[in-house]
């Protein structure tokens, strides 16, 4: 459950910031999240260039994958029957994102 909570919050906070802050690289206020993405962009220029495919994939992950991961925490804690299919779906989305 800790992993699902961690990955859900990571997707929502970090990737959500990237998607919804298109000019993070211009931020001079030393915002922690902007600095994280500036450093990440040094290793993968598609992020600094705001490649449409990357922004779309990160957006889907932030809006769907993050909340689904947090829903998985709830489903596991409450013993809901859909917890397994939810975990499988999020994992499959992660695999797809890694492949892209």
Write down the pLDDT at residue 69. Answer: 97
96-to-3, 53, 65, 89, 90 alpha-carbon distances in Å = 19, 13, 12, 11, 10
Write down the pLDDT at residue 77. Answer: 97
Looking at the 3D structure of the chain, how many domains does it have?
1
pTM of the model as a whole:
0.86
What is the extent of the structural domain holding 6? 1-99
Instruction: Give pLDDT tens digits for 10-33.
Output: 999 999 988 988 887 777 777 888
Q: What band does 9 get if pLDDT is binned at 50, 70 and 90?
A: very high
Listed residue (46, 51, 47) closest to 33, CA to CA: 47
């Amino acid at each position: 459950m800790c992993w699902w909570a961690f990955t859900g919050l990571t997707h929502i906070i970090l990737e959500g910031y990237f998607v919804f802050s298109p000019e993070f690289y211009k931020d001079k206020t030393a915002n922690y999240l902007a600095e994280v993405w500036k450093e990440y962009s040094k290793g993968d220029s598609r992020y600094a260039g705001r490649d449409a495919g990357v922004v779309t994939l990160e957006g889907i992950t932030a809006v769907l994958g993050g909340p689904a991961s947090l829903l998985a925490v709830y489903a596991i804690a409450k013993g809901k029957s859909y917890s397994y299919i939810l975990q499988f779906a999020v994992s499959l989305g992660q695999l797809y994102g890694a492949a892209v």
